[in-house]
Structure 1
Amino acid sequence: MNYNGLITASLVGLLLTVSSRSVAQHVIDERTYVDDSTRVRLSLYSPPNRFQQITDKIISNKAFQMTYIGVPLIVSGLIVKGEDDHFHDLRNSYIPSFSNHYDDYLQYVPAAAMVGLKIGGVKGRSSWGRMLVSDAFTAALMGISVNALKYSVHVKRPDGSKNNSFPSGHTAMAFMTATMLHKEYGLTRSPWYSVGAYSIASATAVSRMMNNRHWLSDVMVGAGIGILSTELGYYLADLIFKDRGIIRNNLSFEIFDYKRNPSFFGLYMGFSLMPTRFALSSTVSLKASPGSTAGFEGAWFMNRYWGIGGRFLATSMPLSLTAPLSESIPVEIAKRVKRLQSDPLDIASFHVGPYISYPLTDRFLVGTKILAGCNLVPSNTISVLYTSESGEEKERAIANVKTNFSISYGTGTSLTYIVKQNLGVRVFIDYNCSPSRFVSYSTNQEGEAVQYETHKTLNTVVLGASVNVMLW
């Protein structure tokens, strides 16, 4: 199977990391009245509640504005470092032979776009001099930070080539240049400059994992360093230049209406758990260890509360035995078994259905969904590795599982925080149920092939987060 678009993992959490960074404002409900000769617009301010006032005050703080994306990315990268193998297994399950060098050039695209716009006469935030000084500070900070970590931590790359994997320099460069474009044009002309820039940066980060050059923690920390370096570089330039060289002020979102329909699209990433144990035969019983899930999810809302959407996910969970194999293979082999040899339990799924959202405040939304769709579990050969009497390592197949296609169902709860006009961050707990039928071919002690059919409901819980573009 080749699902190039599903490795997300990547990604989990990087796609369109910053769509817009305007200062939080009170909600305005605009209503338009029209008579025969004139159009009168009245802005009716609804006073925010105490909780919203506190969050708005925090959000508008300068230190928060500089760190609210970069610091969480770095901290999250350090937290998931111990789980890098799970997301690497996801890559190996779906695109094990992927190799391409376009990411060597993709990282520079936002910078090229920024310079091209400047040469083309499109006015951005800064004059040439102020922009170049800001970018020089930024590049120096990013380069020092990345290289200091690379050559002091000594993390081996997933492909085993070098010991300078952590953090990802390509990703740091991509997010640094994306944040430059965001500051110069995304904040001053249109948030869609930011959307494009961070989409390219996220594609660079995902590609580094797809190419087996970096772990998930490498790209998350690299992205955080790239963003923080740019924030600090521009801050230092602002101290030097003050108001000199500012050509265009930031856009105002004072009248942005957060009561619009909360449609969204973004990357989905989480840790998958399956408490189910299932027997492939009378003697081969397996369980799935915690793994990873990644993909895409989105929904279109008809109003503030009801919508319809779907998701496309890839899951990978390692398999392990739950009982000895003495009855399914000769005793002399069972005594010398070293480990189970098997591909992970891979599940590709597609679901659609209604989405429900309820606003706790203008920025915090609680949601749920009821989905139906299908799962595809690819074929799998399960073997044991054992040591022969001569000391040689050998492999013996104990079961061959056929491709399994089944109808599945899902639900879940989520909490969304609207960080900025076009950016939402969502944490969720999802539950998926898939009544499945497995046909396996096992071997007995005499080496004879025996077919078994197993009916089992696969129950999967996914704990995760997603970063979304809000499609207002």
Structure 2
Amino acid sequence: MGIASGPSMLKTAEIYDSEGGNPLGMKLKVSTATVVSVEGAYFLNPYIGMGGRLKVATLPVTADIPTENLKNFDLDSDLQAGAPVNMFLLEGLESDHLGMLDIDLGVYFSYPLSRHFQIGSKLLMGCRRTANFSLNSLSRINPQIFDRQIVSEEAYKKFYKEDVDFYLQQEQISQAELLNSTFADEEFLRIRRSSTYKIGTGFSFTYRYKEDAALRLYCDYDFAAPRLTYELNNSWVNEDGTRQTHSYSRKTPMHNFTFGASIAFVF
């Protein structure tokens, strides 16, 4: 078991509020991951062996969006429809975790320093699979729709009243409570699961405290470049009112360093 640092950023294309409109300027940042792995090798002699590793990791992903871009994003195409202001103001995207599964095979090396201590390394090749991943958008009601100096009574009835009345009756809340409510739009951004080849290496230091058991400290490095498919549920809609899903693929290099400790059983 260990912790890992991953790519600092997942590169995505710009999301626009309309065809050629305002860019959201979103960047997906990856934090330290939690890693659980099972590893084993059969040594032909004290120095070289063959083995494999099964590793599962979860990468926390957060969306970084400039504040000045959030206020310009036409989340429900209100401005495009002719409304004076947006009914919903985009506040950001919810964080989530990207799951990964690595399956590796390769060569293991060991060099005994003494009866109890030894150092080791390895060279692995294998497959990385990433799970489906999605981010939800978070938004609030724009208080300007209730300001009659900005939105006339006629414009309010035409563009906003029906939706406002629905939320007030559905949730049984006041106008003030409505303005403090947060709305989540599911799967604003979705990344499809993927599979790709990968390589890995590592260095370990082992203390053999019993004849058949040892404590191992290790540092592993893995590299993969999966072609991730991003599906963006953008704000603009077709003529029939259906929201479009824009899809594109991009190779995303992933450099992962894992630091951890484990108990090794020696047979």
**TM-score calculated relative to the size of structure 2:** 0.70
Q: Deviations over 1:151-185 (max 9, x none)?
A: xxxxxxxxxxxxxxxxxxxxxxxxxxxxxxxxxxx
2:184 counterpart residue number: 395
Q: Is 1:320 matched up with 2:62?
A: yes
Distance 1:328 1:443 in 2: 17
1:288 counterpart residue number: 30
Which SS does the other structure have where 1:466 is aligned?
strand
1:270 counterpart residue number: 2
Which structure dedicates a bigger proportion of its chain to strand?
A: 2
Please say if residues 274 and 288 of structure 1, whose CA atoms lie closer than 8 Å, have aligned partners that are also in contact: yes
2:256 counterpart residue number: 460
1:365 counterpart residue number: 118
330, 333, 340: which is aligned to 2:74? Answer: 330
Please say if residues 275 and 460 of structure 1, whose CA atoms lie closer than 8 Å, have aligned partners that are also in contact: yes
Deviation (angstroms), 1:360: 1.3
Change (3 A) 1:463 1:453: same
Please say if residues 108 and 120 of structure 2, whose CA atoms lie closer than 8 Å, have aligned partners that are also in contact: yes
1:302 counterpart residue number: 44
Q: Is 1:380 matched up with 2:133?
A: yes
1:442 counterpart residue number: 232
Overall identity of the aligned pairs, in %: 25
Deviation (angstroms), 1:425: 0.6
Deviation (angstroms), 1:370: 0.4
Distance 1:384 1:326 in 2: 11
Distance 1:327 1:436 in 2: 33
Distance 2:200 2:87 in 1: 42
Please say if residues 327 and 444 of structure 1, whose CA atoms lie closer than 8 Å, have aligned partners that are also in contact: no
Q: How many residues align?
A: 202
Q: Is 1:409 matched up with 2:199?
A: yes
Deviation (angstroms), 1:291: 1.8
1:16 counterpart residue number: none
Gap regions ≥5 residues in structure 2: 16-25, 76-85, 143-177, 238-243
Change (3 A) 1:364 1:327: farther
Please say if residues 222 and 256 of structure 2, whose CA atoms lie closer than 8 Å, have aligned partners that are also in contact: yes
Distance 1:384 1:279 in 2: 18
Deviation (angstroms), 1:282: 1.9
Change (3 A) 1:343 1:320: closer
Aligned pairs for 1:148-163 (under 5 A) are none
Please say if residues 280 and 399 of structure 1, whose CA atoms lie closer than 8 Å, have aligned partners that are also in contact: no
Distance 2:72 2:112 in 1: 56
Distance 2:73 2:122 in 1: 46
Q: CA RMSD in A?
A: 2.1
Q: Is 1:343 matched up with 2:96?
A: yes
Deviation (angstroms), 1:399: 1.2
Deviation (angstroms), 1:395: 1.3
Distance 1:290 1:382 in 2: 18
Which structure dedicates a bigger proportion of its chain to helix?
A: 1
Distance 1:428 1:370 in 2: 14
Deviating 4+ runs (over 6 angstroms): none
**TM-score calculated relative to the size of structure 1:** 0.41
Distance 2:115 2:53 in 1: 25
Q: Is 1:352 matched up with 2:148?
A: no
